[in-house]
Structure 1
């Protein structure tokens, strides 16, 4: 398992940090969290050795194994902090894994979506779930038939809104099943997908805390993190200042939930 672990000696809380659809290892975010007295770990969760080459039927047990490693460092409480597609995974994991005490979901989804890219069989279609649990695919929302035809760079917000309008009820993330404390961080100007709409839908299922900003986009940045780089392919919305403002507003709540 490709991973980065920053151990804070004597830490009582361990945080699993999940990237979005890049699947990358979030070293900077781990190091930032460790500065505040928690042990943080980030893993590559797709595209690595023995893993699906796309976000297609990724076993949620991948993240359970990472939590096991965090427990081995001596922590007594477990948190998961995920962004975008990683937030989707973090929320779903908390509904299934009772050891998760805290979930911090940045630019979350309220439903499980179809795969992005190929599975272990090399096929991208027909659509399948992004995630499995105990070998069974989770119910998912398929994508609309018509993909965005503008750009690049492209906004996928309207695309996901169309998909959400036809989402099967069983694909909703059943947040009421978790006992974890939940923080949702969402920018109202998110142009990749409607994360604030998703956050509000999650809040209808159980008590959560939502931190939002009217001008922030898909990639909020916490104090001490580098600004997100512009993409030639995708529109994320927001601005460097607004994304930093949302991250700054959320940061005290992040630290409070982690006991830092």
Structure 2
């Protein structure tokens, strides 16, 4: 269970699944002892090691991630045959530049593998957020529009390498990054490889997803996430049957 840019462990979601009999590991993947302090060149081996730990006692291993955590889940699943399913909440189809300490810092990848940064799409340094509470979706769209075709191709998450089940959950009003557009691109690339993908979407929903039985997280954020107030729970209810299916749960269980 991988949270996004907050750096927290997604214990609430893990506990909810635990009550349904799912062995769940909420993994802190940065901003902790021995970890990168920000999401920059985070070793993908961290996630592969967690998959190995769960595989020792579980029949199947699924990766569930939100936002940056969805990015990590899709990348990690493409690197191992130990994952049976990925549930990517507010996904991306490319790897992105990592956290900046200063606007003038050189661009660095969010992820590394074997000690080397993986290819990524750089963020548009010329983009400036509007005055007030920002929405970052236009920064990501602008960054894609100015990226060279070879940069986009190199940074594309190789979702066609993962032959397991994929559930993508995206809001059409995501104001953090364009997750619904990314879900479409992921689906098309997997379809070209003969692979099915389940997409759950809501045009009025934003970046957040609250699954049935979860305690909603603090809704106060210093940036716009999109969607109406009821959207996170509505999108979560819509996605729940597909999530239960890949986890082997009864939807009402």
TM-score (norm 2): 0.90
Deviation at 1:153, TM superposition (A): 1.2
Q: Which moved more, 1:29-38 or 1:105-114?
A: 29-38
SS of aligned partner of 1:96: coil
Deviation at 1:123, TM superposition (A): 11
Work out the CA distance in 2 between the residues paired with 1:100 and 1:166: 34
Question: Structure 1 residue runs of 4+, over 3 Å off?
Answer: none
Work out the CA distance in 2 between the residues paired with 1:34 and 1:174: 30
Report if the CA contact (8 A) 1:116-1:124 is conserved: no
Report if the CA contact (8 A) 1:185-1:210 is conserved: yes
Work out the CA distance in 2 between the residues paired with 1:23 and 1:202: 25
Per residue, is there more strand in 1 or in 2? Answer: 1
In structure 2, the residue matched to 1:152 is 132
Alignment of 1:128-167 (within 5 A): 128-167=108-147
User: Deviations for 1:63-92, whole angstroms, at most 9, x for unmatched residues?
Assistant: 1121222123x1121100000000000001
Shift in alpha-carbon separation, 1:65–1:216, aligned structure 2, 3 A: same
Report if the CA contact (8 A) 1:186-1:196 is conserved: yes
Work out the CA distance in 2 between the residues paired with 1:215 and 1:252: 20
1:179 maps onto 2:163 in alignment: yes
Deviation at 1:232, TM superposition (A): 4.7
Alignment of 1:1-260 (within 5 A): 17-72=1-56, 74-117=57-100, 125-167=105-147, 168=151, 169-206=153-190, 207-260=196-249
Work out the CA distance in 2 between the residues paired with 1:231 and 1:156: 16
Report if the CA contact (8 A) 1:148-1:154 is conserved: no
Aligned length: 240
Deviation at 1:239, TM superposition (A): 2.2
Work out the CA distance in 2 between the residues paired with 1:149 and 1:157: 10
Q: Which moved more, 1:103-112 or 1:46-55?
A: 46-55
Q: Which moved more, 1:77-86 or 1:109-118?
A: 109-118
User: Deviations for 1:21-64, whole angstroms, at most 9, x for unmatched residues?
Assistant: 11211111001111222100111101111211111100001111
Work out the CA distance in 1 between the residues paired with 2:201 and 2:40: 30
Deviation at 1:124, TM superposition (A): 8.2
SS of aligned partner of 2:26: strand
TM-score (norm 1): 0.88
Report if the CA contact (8 A) 1:81-1:103 is conserved: yes
- Where do 5+ consecutive residues of structure 2 fail to align? 191-195
Work out the CA distance in 2 between the residues paired with 1:134 and 1:123: 27
Deviation at 1:166, TM superposition (A): 3.2
